[in-house]
A and B are shown apart, each in its own frame.
Chain A
Amino acid sequence: MGAYVVRRLLWLIVVLIAVSLVTFVIFYVLPSADPVLLRAGKNPSPEVVQSITHTLGLDRPWYVQYGRYMERLVLHLDLGRSYQNDASVRHLLWDRLPATLALAFGAMVLWLLIGIPLGIFSAVRHRRAGDRVVTGVSLLLISAPVYWLGLVALYVFSADIGKLPWLEGAGSYPTHGTIFTNPGEVVPSLILPWIVLAISFAAIYARFVRGSLVEVLREDYIRTARAKGLPERTVVLKHGMRAAMTPVVTILGLDLGILLGGAILVETVFNVPGIGRLAYDSIQTSDLPMIQGTVLAGAFFIVLLTLVVDLVYAFLDPRVRYGQGAP
């Protein structure tokens, strides 16, 4: 078990290096704006431009720059400074992390609370009226783009422009404090984004749980359990769900990983100052250190959560540990 964990951790590091390299090459070779020229003023002479290039360290070949970047990262955990306003990338990322964390985990709790019971309900009432309704609504919600749902939600419920102004609208996330230090202001501002994210994902999970549970409930050992006279509730919840949950855990890990890397769309619509919005802004201005930082953060979370999920599996299922059938 220990060897497995070590192997996976090493792989995490390899992936991060690969991701950082690819990102660096893409955004260096195809930069969308020139950070030197953004500081150079009107009609600068070539000498001035050259001087700024040198000051920013951008006149060295890309692999040298990459090398220095990695060196700073590994030795000092320093992700560099933003080209836009000279802020420390690590500091900004750390600052923005609580908002993304709050958004992702809050939504996750909600969607699990909604989606899983609905999925069970739907599976149990397979192909009957209840199932049809749940499936239909789920499909509808999955088919809607989450940012559009967000706009519709704002239109209806936002405190400043909504027809039924019950909830805080976009831009109400406070500047200071996080959900831990200032829950009084943060939580109301996140309710609407939580709901929007949650109903989107709940639909997916409801369908998933339904499909998975329907399959499991057909298995022989379920028939045996029923034949033994166990109450249906025990059969479904205890035996059925245990097997049905494994694929759910997998996609939960993946989804959470992606959300933690920054839900750009939701953060944009609701003006939540998270990592996703930071990434989007930095891409627009070709702020390479910031882009690198946000992409690395995103990749880190995705791989980390995949690792956690795999570890949970390895813990539960010995076959996985010994190399067979590892996904």
Chain B
Amino acid sequence: MIAARGTAQEHHADRDRSPAGVGVPARSPQRLLWERFRRDRLALAALVLLVGLVLVALLAPLIVSLVGARPPDQQSTAYLDAFGSATGPGSANLLGTDELGRDVFSRVLYGARVSLLVAFASTALILLVGVSVGLAAGYYRGWVDTFLSRVTDVMLAFPVLLLALGLGAACSIGAGCLTVDYGRIGVGLILAGAACGGLFVLWARSRDRRAGNAELHTARDALANFAPFALLIALGAVLAYAVGGRGALIQPGLPVVVVIVALGGWPYMARIVRGQVLSLREREFVEAARALGASDRRILLRHILPNLVAPIIVATTLIIPASILFEAALSFLGVGVQDPQASWGAMISDATGTFDTAWWYMTFPGVALVLTVLAFNLVGDGLQDALDPRTGT
């Protein structure tokens, strides 16, 4: 049997066959990735920064009370002068106050929540839609491809910011858009995902037993192929539950922003995935699999999907920072999370009228944005370099 090549899992069969008994243990591809990533100091530092940011976002209330700063939505006229102008950084307020007397330090910390939440949630959505569309279009070709590609093209032709503005403005009227219970949806998604996964395992196992087919070694392999995608979708679902279920973080406007950001980003993902699938399906190992009589579904899952992981991860690392910037731009233009929820883009927008005399509440949210996006970009770069086997040092 010609062992199917080109999968990241091919090492399984060779695991114990190190040459000539010399004890060099083969490392799993994930391990290899991590080793290479680790060597890039800058990327590592950025990863640490990222983890720190996530922690800050999650623990914002704790940090604020530890430092002794005021809660982010506490207004106070004590820090405004007779004309209503804000006071700058000082002992009372670490980073100064905004024009309502609110502590900028607290607001910057809490603003991280919105940015990260929107970034992760919308990226999850983008993956869901973009990968599905790209896969279908690239693999099935024909009229499916034509139709999906045309839809993608029209979406790409839309001035996205305008569409976002229009939807945001429209969704602010009446009962608003997307007012559902996100907690329930999140839980539902997790349960459904788990159920589907479990069913798939059972089915694959039974196929295994019946066919004795070497194509699908174990159900575990199939699951492992799915794992990255399932993980990302589950992450989004967990986030939805964590914030929607408790209701503490989700505010009117946030789900709309997530959807709008996702709406703007999925065509790019779809295009990238489609391109990759198109080239992959012509490769020899797919030809071989087809010659062996593997079904479409098997080829997709076993051969194509695993090889998409790398480019999709790379694309994701570009999309997350873009989503953060997009959400900030929407907030800057007045669409998005409502007061008093702190959002970096909204804070910069509030500052535009007074930044010549009150520089602090324009500067600090901006710096926070730059740092966050930079961290994601650096990690993304590091991942890209680590995944690319041709980049030698």
List residues of A (299-327) whose CB comes within 8 Å of B's CBs: 299, 302-303, 306, 325, 327
A145-B328, A145-B329, A265-B161 known; 19 other A-B pairs, CB under 8 Å?
A19-B154, A19-B158, A22-B154, A22-B158, A31-B170, A32-B172, A139-B377, A145-B370, A155-B362, A262-B159, A280-B333, A283-B162, A283-B166, A283-B169, A294-B159, A295-B158, A298-B158, A298-B159, A302-B159
**Bound CA span A15–B333, Å:** 27
**Bound CA span A127–B166, Å:** 44
**Bound CA span A299–B390, Å:** 39
Contacting residues, chain A, for B332 (C-beta < 8 A): 145, 147, 265
Contact A139:B157 (CB < 8 A) given known A30-B173, A145-B345, A284-B169:
no
Residues of A within 8 A of B (CB): 11, 15, 18-19, 22-23, 26-27, 30-32, 127, 135-136, 139-140, 142-145, 147-148, 151-152, 154-155, 161, 218, 258, 261-262, 264-265, 268-269, 279-280, 283-284, 286, 291, 294-295, 298-299, 302-303, 306, 325, 327
Contact A148:B369 (CB < 8 A) given known A26-B167, A30-B170:
yes
User: Per a CB cutoff under 8 Å, which of B170, B362, B390 touches A218?
Assistant: B390
A-B contact pairs, 9 of them (CB 8 A): A23-B166, A30-B170, A145-B328, A145-B348, A147-B348, A261-B162, A264-B162, A279-B165, A327-B271
Nearest-CB distance from A154 to chain B (Å)?
A: 8
Nearest-CB distance from B98 to chain A (Å)?
A: 15
Interface: B130 (CB within 8 A):
no
Q: Which residue of B lies closest to A144 (CB)?
A: B370
Contacting residues, chain A, for B166 (C-beta < 8 A): 23, 26-27, 30, 32, 283, 291
Contacting residues, chain B, for A284 (C-beta < 8 A): 169
**Bound CA span A19–B162, Å:** 12
Interface contact B356-A161, CB-CB below 8 Å: yes
User: Per a CB cutoff under 8 Å, which of A11, A31, A155, A279 touches B162?
Assistant: A279
Interface: B355 (CB within 8 A):
yes
0/1 interface trace, chain B 145-181, chain A, CB 8 Å (1 if under): 0000000011011110111011101111100000000
Contacting residues, chain A, for B325 (C-beta < 8 A): 145
Contacting residues, chain B, for A143 (C-beta < 8 A): 321, 369-374, 377
Nearest-CB distance from B54 to chain A (Å)?
A: 17
**Bound CA span A151–B362, Å:** 8
What are the 3 A-B residue pairs with the smallest beta carbon separation, nearest first?
Answer: A30-B170, A298-B159, A143-B373
Interface contact A144-B369, CB-CB below 8 Å: yes
**Bound CA span A9–B328, Å:** 36
Nearest-CB distance from A128 to chain B (Å)?
A: 12
Q: What bracket does the count of chain B residues touching chain A fall in? A: 35 or more
Interface contact B157-A19, CB-CB below 8 Å: yes
**Bound CA span A327–B149, Å:** 9
**Bound CA span A95–B169, Å:** 26
**Bound CA span A279–B328, Å:** 19
Q: Which residue of B lies closest to A148 (CB)?
A: B366
**Bound CA span A23–B163, Å:** 8
Interface contact B356-A127, CB-CB below 8 Å: no
Contact A151:B154 (CB < 8 A) given known A143-B373, A145-B329, A268-B333:
no
Nearest-CB distance from A127 to chain B (Å)?
A: 7
Nearest-CB distance from B208 to chain A (Å)?
A: 37
**Bound CA span A283–B43, Å:** 41
User: Per a CB cutoff under 8 Å, which of A19, A127, A302 touches B393?
Assistant: A127
Contacting residues, chain A, for B221 (C-beta < 8 A): none
Contacting residues, chain A, for B363 (C-beta < 8 A): 152
Nearest-CB distance from B97 to chain A (Å)?
A: 19
Interface: B73 (CB within 8 A):
no
Interface contact B366-A32, CB-CB below 8 Å: no
List residues of B (341-392) whose CB comes within 8 Å of A's CBs: 345, 348, 351-352, 355-356, 359, 362-363, 366, 369-374, 377-378, 381, 390
Contacting residues, chain A, for B278 (C-beta < 8 A): 325
**Bound CA span A286–B169, Å:** 9
Contact A26:B170 (CB < 8 A) given known A15-B153, A19-B157, A269-B352:
yes
Contacting residues, chain B, for A127 (C-beta < 8 A): 393
Interface contact B348-A151, CB-CB below 8 Å: yes
Nearest-CB distance from A171 to chain B (Å)?
A: 12
Contacting residues, chain A, for B373 (C-beta < 8 A): 142-144
**Bound CA span A269–B362, Å:** 13
Interface contact B170-A264, CB-CB below 8 Å: no
User: Per a CB cutoff under 8 Å, which of A32, A135, A136, A295 touches B170?
Assistant: A32
Interface: B197 (CB within 8 A):
no
**Bound CA span A23–B165, Å:** 12
User: Per a CB cutoff under 8 Å, which of A22, A154, A283 touches B165?
Assistant: A283
Contacting residues, chain A, for B42 (C-beta < 8 A): 136
